[in-house]
A and B are shown apart, each in its own frame.
Chain A
Amino acid sequence: MSSDAGAPLLEVEDLVTRYPVSRGLMGIIAGRPRLNVHAADGISFSLRSGEMLAIVGESGCGKTTTAQTVMRMIEPDGGRIRFRGSDITTLSHRQMRPLRRQMQLIYQDPYESLDPRFRVRDTVEEPLIIHGEGGTKDGRDKLVREALERAGLSPPELYVERYPHELSGGQRQRVAIAASLVLNPSLLVADEPVSMLDVSVRAGILDLLAGLRRAGLGILMITHDLSTAAHYADRIAVMYLGRIVEIGSAKEVVRRPQHPYTRALVSVAPSRDPRTGSRPQLLKGETPNAVHIPPGCRFHPRCPQAIEECKSVDPQLRPAGGEGQEAACILVGRNEHLDANGGGPGAPTATGPGRI
């Protein structure tokens, strides 16, 4: 990390985002307490240019809220967001506007994110018009074609005049990516970019993102799929109930998970090889709602290793496992932790599929 001279592209510090729960008129009259959904409850991470960080977690863990707050699409209730070294946490909409072109969002569903009445050209050109970029019509046209090529839609002539319904799911997602690339951003936030796509085309979209990262973009990928994150991201942050419970290099987090929650997640990721018998370590129940967060460690009611102390101590991220790896668990480094870690679930390795 120290090798990087400049400031990180994105720094997030103790970010908090809450959504108030509607009490209803009766609730207000009855004087029921105001309740909040603690979607992001003290999130800190940083992202460098040319790096892909995957935020992994189950639904409701706050990963999408975190991404949207970082982009200032949702107002944070606390914490700091620094983009290229300057604090953007409290910038007004007007002040944010020139920065918006530098940070772009790719949505999950390319069937919904594209306007069905817009030709590919219109979709990709729109950001240029909004931001007053690209000069003349011809100038914009050139940028549109370049963006399509960068997104792997080549030759662009084949696509510019088409409507979304004439494209496959993978091609639609490439159009959405082209529209986010046309302004030449330095940060891409991809929210479940392949979960709506067929398995056979997912790798193509992920390779495209990996290529953009190599070309120097910083990419924040939100995903529920640990396997995808392990294959493509440089680092993985695992979220549970509004907190990052573990962060580190993708390989280390998957091979030597330190937090009991990460270990459980790794153990339930099914392998494509039937002979790689994983030993699923099933957690009881489901993630509690983020309104009433359990005291102490928020994972303790479901944790197979919880001890008495976990009910009262709220653990912070601290170094664990490999270099740069951190986990929020008081058992890290203790004997009980090491015992449970012996022959962790990351142990088996699969061979590739057979040939025909």
Chain B
Amino acid sequence: MTDFIEAFHTALRLIATLDPDLLGIVLLSLRVSLTAVAIASLIGFPLGAALAVYRFPGRGTLSAIVNALMGLPPVVAGLFIYLLLSNTGPLGVLQLLYTPTAMIIAQVVIVIPIVGALTRQACEDLLEEYDEQLRSLGASPTAIAFTLLWDGRYRLLTAVLAGFGRAIAEVGAVMIVGGNIDHVTRTMTTAIALETSKGNITLALALGIVLLVIAFAVNAALMGVRRFALRFAYA
């Protein structure tokens, strides 16, 4: 127990002194996950809006697939991207395996279904209310989609935060395609896994605390967005 308390103190000191190793890992994690979420949003918003607005054959199936992929296990996503990027894979020539780019790609795959499905739901809910009014105003399907995206902006923001929460916390995909290389592809989650198994509880604990703080911050932001939107009747 004293070991634990001591480790906890050291961990807090690592955080307080902005230990360079710790900082490097945290910043890489944030860079990878924020980039992945940004790219996934650029794809997920139009995907979700299109699924809500356009009527085309296979729309129901596609929606169901996107919904199902929300639960895609990160290790499976990692394995899939690994096969694509490995030397013998179709994208092997790009030599991306074990780079931060590979980790971003894997997390994009994980986050797109989350942002896409939540965007579709938000747009469908709005469309139920707006449909006749927008058609009366003469809006084309594309104009309707853009209107829904803007009017659903606060719910889209919560979708983005949910996607970020998932990306920053996942370990399976970044481990497989990143390889957990020190100072190159070592993220918070992979470092925790490695350091714990090496017995270096201190660094693992410090990273764990940082992750926890990020998770709390994301949740607080979610609640803040919701409250703000409700206050202006934008929810």
Same complex: no
User: Residues of A at under 8 Å CB distance from B?
Assistant: none
